[in-house]
Structure formats: C-alpha cells, structure tokens
Amino acid sequence: MKISEMFGKGKTILSFEVFPPKKTMPVDTIYETLDGLKDLNPAFISVTYGAGGNAADRTTCEIASAIKHKYGIESAAHLTCVNNSREDILKILGDFKECGVENILALRGDINPNVPPKDDFKYASELITFIKENGSFGISGACYPEGHLDSENMVEDILNLKKKVDAGAEHLMSQLFFDNSCFYNFLEKARIAGVNVPIEAGIMPVTNKKSIERMVSMCGASLPPKFTKMMQRYENNPEALRDAGIAYAIDQIVDLISNGVDGIHLYTMNNPYVAGKISNAVSSLL
C-alpha cells in the first residue's frame, strides 16, 4: 500500500522511524527493536539509509522488506543520492522491487566533506523524478519546518519543496522540531505555495543530551526556553531526562493532533520503551 493512500480519512496517523544497526552491531538487533514496536500498531515504519549510503549495502532494503512481510506493517525505505550514480540508483530500485518494498523516502543525503559527492543528482527533486520514471513506487520527501541548512531563507526552501512535490513526491515527513509554532508557520507557508500533499510532523523524544545536541547541530532545529530549561534541570539525571523528554514529546503530539495535523512521524531511535510510552499516551487521540 502506498503511504499517501493512508491519509484523508479525517484522522492523524502515527508512524515510526528506525535505523539499521551500526557496522559493529549484529543486524539481528534491529529485529529485537521491531519485536518491541510491532504491537504499537504504527501505520508504517521507515528505515534510514544504512552504512554510508552506498549501493552495495542492502541492509535498508532487507529491513524494510521484513517489516512489510514478516511483521505485516507497511514500510518505507530511505534512499539518498549524494553518493550514488544513476546506475547505482537503478540497482537499488531493482532490489526494492525484488524485496517487495513499495515506498521510498527520497533524499539528497548529507554531504561528507571527506567523500566527493557523485554529480548525477544534485537535488532530491532530481532523484524523485528519476524514481518516478523507473518504477511505480510511492514516493515521499523530506521537509524542514525551520528551513534546510543549505537554503538561504524559508522562501527558497518552500520553493524547493514545491519542486519535490511537482516532481512526484506524494507525501512529506518533516525534520525534527521542538517548537510547534515553527511547524504551524511552515505548514501555512507550504499550503499557500501549493504544497497540498500530506505532511507528517517529525517528533524526536529527548533521551540523551549529547545525541540531541548532535542532531540539532546537524539539522538546525531551534530550542525553545521550555525545552532548554528541561535539559538543564535533568542533564545529569539520565532517567529523569528520559522521562521528561517523553513527557515533552507527548505534549507536542497532543497539541499537533488537536490542531489536525496529517500525521506524526516518531523518530524512535530504536527504543521500543520510549516509543511505547508515547504511543500508549496518545492512542486514544488517534
């Protein structure tokens, strides 16, 4: 089932994101995570692109296939183009088709200063066009409530987002944010610009101070005073910070659902406990 077909029923859907294990970890550890997530009944689970974003690594494809066929949950495989040629992407699309993966989140990917990027695809919109021309996949794109770090301003970022939709993206997942007003302002601008596909709000619960600081530095999300005070108060108490982070994420999600957002995409960080606490707290609202 294509992810875009899950929307339009007057309800907010809840989906999850997981990531393949690091190279130093057995791949089977992801199935322990999925065992803990399956009973939470997400609409779908997306799988980030693994091991350096190269065509030789089939981990993302295999995990996405298992989510769909072993666990009976629709899946979406992330696909980045910054380090892939057209031939690489064609091979990956062939793998996805063979494994029964129907949905793709098409991304440019992060540029590694130590690895010269391939030049076949400069933007995610070009990758989306290529996928559209070479298969019948459901295509999702990423969006950035506070603007992509490479964009000069929000106007430019929204125009680039419109290009993704015009190229064939049927559904969007947002980068993480901690201030809902940023998402609402972005959503208003996107709709005015003619971006009319379903847009999911990306929520990442805070469970570790260092990891959240790293993510914020990578994506540019702002930290509202309420969030900063929470971090400062509990930064030396891991259990308290975890519970406060869960409560903060629940508060965000309740507000988003109350305002009728299309969906919530929960960055689980492969932590079924945290995902379960949040899912159970908001299940009656969905």
Token pair 């908001």 in the structure block, residue: 282
Annotation says 17 is catalytic = yes
Among 5, 17, 102, 200, the active-site one is 17
What is the token pair recorded at 28? 């089977």
What is the token pair recorded at 165? 């939709």
DSSP assignment letter at 51: T
* Distance between CA atoms of residues 52 and 67, nearest Å: 22
**DSSP collapsed to 3 states, 246-277:** HHHHHHHHHHHHHCCCCEEEEECCCCHHHHHH
- Report CA 223 to chain centroid distance, whole Å: 19
* Distance between CA atoms of residues 162 and 167, nearest Å: 8
Pairing of strands 74-80, 103-107: parallel
* Distance between CA atoms of residues 265 and 275, nearest Å: 11
Catalytic residues: 17
